[in-house]
Amino acid sequence: MVKTKVKVSDLKKSFGTNEVLKEINVTVTEGEVVCIIGPSGSGKSTFLRCLNGLEEISGGKVEIDDFDITDSETDINKVRQDIGMVFQHFNLFPHLTVAENIVLAPVELKRMTKEEAHQKAVELLEVVGLSEKIDVYPNSLSGGQKQRVAIARALAMNPDIMLFDEPTSALDPEMVGEVLEVMKRLAKQGMTMIVVTHEMGFAREVGDRVIFMDGGYIVEEGTPEAIFQHAKQPRTQDFLNKVL
C-alpha cells in the first residue's frame, strides 16, 4: 500500500495582511520526489517552512505521517526530527568542524551516542564524497562542498522526509552538478523529497511530480512531462517560456 507522508489541506498562511499561501492542497506519498517551481515571491519557501512547523499556519491542516502538526497534542519537535531540511545558504556552524556539524543534532537530541554519531558522519561523508574533509572547518570548503556537508548533516538524523529550498541557487554553476548528483542518488534510494528548485533539468529528470506555484496558489501540477511539455495554464506556460 502507498503510504502518505505529507498531507496538506486548505493550508493558508498570512504575514499581517499579506496572504502568502491560499488554500494549498498537496499530498506526498512515501518515496515520491516532488519538485516545486515558480517565480520568486510565490510562496515556495513559506510552504516548505509550514511543513516542518517553522511557520505558524493561518488556516488549514498539515499532517506528517498521520500527525497533525498544528494539534497541540502533537510533539512538533519530535515530528521535526524526522524531517531534514537543506537551505540555499547551507547554514553550517562556522566554529565547528565538518564532523562536529554533522554529529551535533543526533547527539544533542540523544538519538545517538557520540561514537555512533561519529560513525554515521564518516559514512555520510563517504556518501557525499567528502571523506577527506571530516576535520576541516566550513570556511575552507567550496560552496558545493558546503552544501554536500549540509545534506550529510540533515541525513545524520535519519530523516524520512527531506525538504530542499533552492539548494543550488547560491552556487557557482560548476558546483551545481555535484550537489544535484547527491540529491539524485538520495531520490533513487527512495527518500521522500520535496525540492524547491530552479533546476528544470533536475525537476524533469528526477521529479515524480512537478508543482507550479504562483501568487500563493498551486496553479498546476502533474508529471514532469505534463508540466514541461503540455502545460495547460497560461501562467505556467509564461513562466516556463522565461526559464527554459
Q: Quick one: 157 exposed, middle or buried, by C-beta within 10 A (0-12, 13-18, 19+)? A: buried
Closest CA to 62 of 7, 126, 136, 122: 7
Closest to ligand ADP by CB, 212 vs 228, is: 212
Q: Does 42 bind Mg ion (CB under 5 A)?
A: no
Helix (H, G, I), strand (E, B) or coil at 222: strand
Closest to Mg ion by CB, 38 vs 84, is: 38
Q: Does 190 bind ligand ADP (CB under 6 A)?
A: no
Q: Which does 15 bind (CB under 5 to 8 A by kind): Mg ion, ligand ADP, none?
A: ligand ADP
Q: Which does 145 bind (CB under 5 to 8 A by kind): Mg ion, ligand ADP, none?
A: none
Measured CA distances, 208 to 24, 48, 164, 193 (Å):
19, 18, 15, 10
Reading the block at residue 16, the C-alpha cell is 499581517
Least CB distance from residue 10 to Mg ion, whole Å? 22
Q: Does 45 bind Mg ion (CB under 5 A)?
A: yes
Reading the block at residue 75, the C-alpha cell is 510533539
Residues 18-57 that bind ligand ADP (CB under 6 A): 18, 20, 38, 40-46
Interface ranges with ligand ADP (CB under 6 A): 15, 18, 20, 38, 40-46
